[in-house]
Amino acid sequence: MRKLLARFASGVAVGTFWFLWPLLPLLASIAFLNRRYVLDYAGTLRKFAIHLRAVREGPADIFFGTVLGVPASEAPVEISGHCVQCGNCCMNHRCVFLEPRGGGIFQCGIYTSPLRRLSNCGAFPVSARDIQRYDCPSYFVVKAEPVRILEPQA
C-alpha cells in the first residue's frame, strides 16, 4: 500500500510542477535567491522540461518511497567510493541546477541551500541499481565474501 501511495504522491508532485512549469524560473529565483533563472527564462524553461522528464523516470518514486518508509529491497550491504563530481548522478546531467565547472567537473548550483535537503540528492547511491543507472565511475558495491576458517595442519 505504501508503494502505491508513493507512486501516487510522485505523480501528483510531478504533475503539479508541470502545471507550474511557466512559473518555475521565477519560483527558483525566489527560492534560491538567484536571479539567473529569470534572466535566462527561456533557457531555464527548457532545462526544467528536461529535468521534469528525468524526475518522472524514477527519482520522484524513490524520494516519496523513502519518505513513506517503503523498504529498499535492493539496498546492498555496503557501498564504497567517493564523489568525483562527474554529474552523472544528477539524472545523467539533466538536473536544472547542475553547473559545469570545466574539465568534466560539475557542481550542484543549489548545494548550500537548505531547500536542497528536502530532496534525495544527498542519498546517492542508495543501491547497485543507482550506480548502474547513472553509470557512476567512482562508487561500487562491496561484495561480501564468506570467511572460511581453515583447520590447522597437523
52 in Cβ contact with 18 (< 8 Å): yes
Question: Does residue 42 carry a pLDDT above 60?
Answer: yes
Tens digits of residue pLDDT in 101-143: 999 999 999 988 888 877 778 778 877 888 888 899 999 988 7
Does pTM surpass 0.85? no
Lowest mean pLDDT among 17-31, 32-46, 55-69, 74-88: 55-69
68 in Cβ contact with 74 (< 8 Å): no
Higher-confidence position of 8 and 3: 8
DSSP 49: H
User: Nine-digit cell at 105?
Assistant: 567537473
In the chain, where the domains are located? 2-141
Task: Give, to the nearest 10 degrees, the angle between helix 59-67 and helix 2-19.
Answer: 130
Question: Does residue 33 carry a pLDDT above 70?
Answer: yes
